[in-house]
Amino acid sequence: MSTPFTLDEDKILLLTCLRRRIVDKYEYVLLARKLGNGRTPNEVKLRFDELHRQAATRLMALGLAVPDWGYAGEDFSEYEVKECGGEGRGPETR
């Protein structure tokens, strides 16, 4: 990574993460353009995935999400997390 992500960049990525799942490479290109600062789509994807994992891990630690499909530190990018102890749903059940 060229430089650490700023708080403003992380906010944009987290808000995007909360609103919807990114489903293709082109959306990372659009996010990289939105962030500016010379970010590449690959940098954006890596940071997005990291923030997504951190958010899911923190929710589980607070007891707000207790998915039955994984543990802290796993890749949560293919799953949805429900509030209040709901079950996680993998792509095979959508």
8 Å CB contact between 77 and 48: no
pTM of the model: 0.54
CB 75 within 8 A of CB 49: yes
Q: Is 80 helix (H, G, I), strand (E, B) or coil?
A: strand
Annotate 73-91 with DSSP letters as a single string: TS--TT-B--STTPPPB-G
Q: What is the pLDDT of residues 59-75, one digit of tens each?
A: 777 777 544 444 444 44
Is residue 64 within 8 Å of 84, Cβ to Cβ? yes
Digit-by-digit pLDDT tens for the chain (94 residues) are 578 888 888 888 877 766 666 657 788 888 888 888 888 888 888 888 888 788 778 777 777 754 444 444 444 445 444 443 334 444 444 3
